[in-house]
Amino acid sequence: MKILVVGSGGREHALCWKLRQSPQLRQLWCAPGNGGTAAIAENVPIKASDIPALARFAETNGTDLTIVGPEAPLCDGIVDAFRARGLRIFGPDRNAARLEGSKVFAKEVMDRLGVPTARSGTFADPAAARDFGHRLGFPHVVKADGLAAGKGAIIAPDAAAADAAIRQIMEEKAFGAAGERVVVEEFLDGEEASLQLLVCGREWVVLPTSQDHKRVGDGDTGPNTGGMGAYSPAPILEGAALAEAENRIVGPLLEGFPSLGIDYRGLLYVGLMIGRGGPKVLEFNCRFGDPETQVLMPRIEGDLATLLLGCSEGHLERSSFALSPKSALCVVAAAPGYPGDYPTGQPISGLDQAAAPDVAIFHAGTRKDGDRIITAGGRVLAVAATGKDLRTARDRAYASISKIHFPGVHYRTDIGARAGINNL
Ligand code: AMP
Ligand code: GLY
């Protein structure tokens, strides 16, 4: 099989790493890729946003399957464009990707299908949004409708903050056209966890549960980031909670999609808040999570290439999927200043020393510079480890990451703490 992976982050490196284990794989490209994918795939200098160039590449090179990492090309219709040319591609089409691309649409779908989520209203008029929020009480959450690079959800503790959020999104257009409408919703208490599903029309496979760490600092302090680490399984979403999420959320959603004209084929990421009232949906993503994929891939046994190819063709190859009983945990090493401004181009050392059994080093913001690997982004790499339990995986990941250096490297020291392993 000849496969093209689209994207350049840790998620895409983890996908390439798993695809490399497939006996079916003959050729692997990553566009544009990073310093890590360069070692296991052929990097192709085409941006993830350049859909026509990607389609031309896939056609010219006879790819059997393209796998899309980031949400932007999916929301922009990369799947529709590829299918129109008869090219196989894994991911939802533009219509189905609206589950991530439009929070208004996601809320409508959940309301129509009776899926538990925060009570909300949708507004194109700032004054009406403000009134509704005041009636909801505080704190509440104001969300830009469209894609906003993960920054479009603002928790407003009081009226002044809510007014500022609405002004910023709707009037100052901080996220451009994404802010033409907002969702204002009640604040949900609880703990967050992620459920990733491989969906093929009315069929689905539940992938390992996981939890990420969004804040930059230990103890969940400091600003939000793209994710500073993750672990799988997420104990909060195992057992009865998972069964409840499947019965009350996954089932109604996937059985109801066809009635709403949604033909979902791809990865569906359901962000959940697990609180006293049971699991409720915070958000959908129409693609693999990052950094959740870095702990998901080491826990999937079987042939990912065959599984994703089948899904793109409309059938789930369940026999190609098995779940490893191992636990996995990853820690992200970030550049100094991240999630604010940060330098790039700094040499990374210790990668060879950090290599160990049961450890995978997934690059994110790195680039190959001759024989060196240098930094090229805010989240530089993630060290993912597996073990018989989360604690073993955690110890392996930290032993390994401590050997990796670049100027100002920082990472959280408490990944997994919420799973209750820190004081063992
Ligand atoms: P979203 O963009 O909808 O995923 O929201 C981003 C983050 O904001 C989530 O991961 C939560 O941490 C937080 N969040 C979003 N909606 C709510 C809510 N209704 N209640 C509490 N926290 C929320
Ligand atoms: N880790 C959250 C996301 O991928 O959006």
The Cα-based distances of 193 to 3, 5, 22, 121, 298 in angstroms read: 30, 26, 29, 24, 18
Compute CA 333 distance to the chain's CA centroid, rounded to the nearest angstrom. Answer: 17
Per-residue model confidence as pLDDT tens digits over 354-390: 999 999 999 999 999 999 999 999 999 999 999 999 9
pLDDT in tens, 183-204: 999 999 999 999 999 999 889 9
CATH 3.40.50.20 domain span(s) along the chain: 2-93
pLDDT surpasses 50 at 424: no
Instruction: Select from 119, 141, 290 the residue to mutate for testing ligand 1; criterion: most ligand atoms less than 8 Å from CB.
Output: 141
**How long, in residues, is the chain?**
424
Closest CA to 387 of 336, 414, 421: 421
Structure tokens that stand for 302 in this block: 């079987």
Question: What pLDDT, in 10s, does the model give residues 302-324?
Answer: 999 999 999 999 999 888 889 99
- Is 3.90.600.10 the CATH classification of the domain at 327-419? yes
Could you give the percent of the chain with pLDDT greater than 70?
99
CATH of domain 2-93: 3.40.50.20
Spatial distance between the Cα atoms of 47 and 365, rounded to a whole number of angstroms: 15
Closest ligand to the CA of 102 = 1
Strand partners, 7: 32
- Class of domain 125-180 (CATH, top level): alpha beta
Write the residue with the smallest CA distance to atom 3 of ligand 2: 289
Tell me the HSE value of 144 on the side-chain side, using a 13 A CA sphere: 23
Task: From the CA of 227, give the closest atom in ligand 2.
Answer: 1
Q: Which atom of ligand 2 is nearest to the CA of 287?
A: 4
Q: Give the CA count within 13 Å in the CB-facing half-sphere of 214.
A: 10
Pocket of ligand 1 (CB under 6 A): 118, 141, 143, 152-153, 185, 187-188, 192, 271, 282-283
Taken in order 6, 10, 15, 16, the sign of the CA dihedral is: positive
Q: What is the CATH number of domain 191-323?
A: 3.30.470.20
Longest Cα pair distance anywhere in the chain, in angstroms? 60
The alpha carbon of 86 and the centre of ligand 2 are apart by a number of angstroms equal to 30
Reported as a single tens digit per residue, the pLDDT across 131-150 is 999 999 999 999 999 999 87
The rounded percent of the chain whose pLDDT value lies above 90 is 93
247 Cα–ligand 1 center, Å? 22
**Cβ atoms within 10 Å of 168's Cβ, excluding its own:** 16
Nearest-angstrom CA–CA distance, 354 and 400 = 5
CATH 3.90.600.10 range(s) for the chain read 327-419
Nearest CA to ligand 2 atom 4: 289
Q: For residue 198, what are its two tokens? A: 């491989």
CA separation, residue 326 to residues 75, 103, 195, 322, 416 (Å):
34, 35, 17, 12, 15
Ligand of minimum distance to the alpha carbon of 192: 1
Q: Give dist(CA 170, CA 125) in Å, integer.
A: 8
Q: What is the pLDDT of residues 272-295, one digit of tens each?
A: 999 998 999 999 999 999 999 999
Residue ranges, CATH 3.30.1490, the chain: 125-180
Residues with CB under 6 A from ligand 2: 212, 227, 285, 289-290, 292
Distance CA 194, CA 32 (A): 27
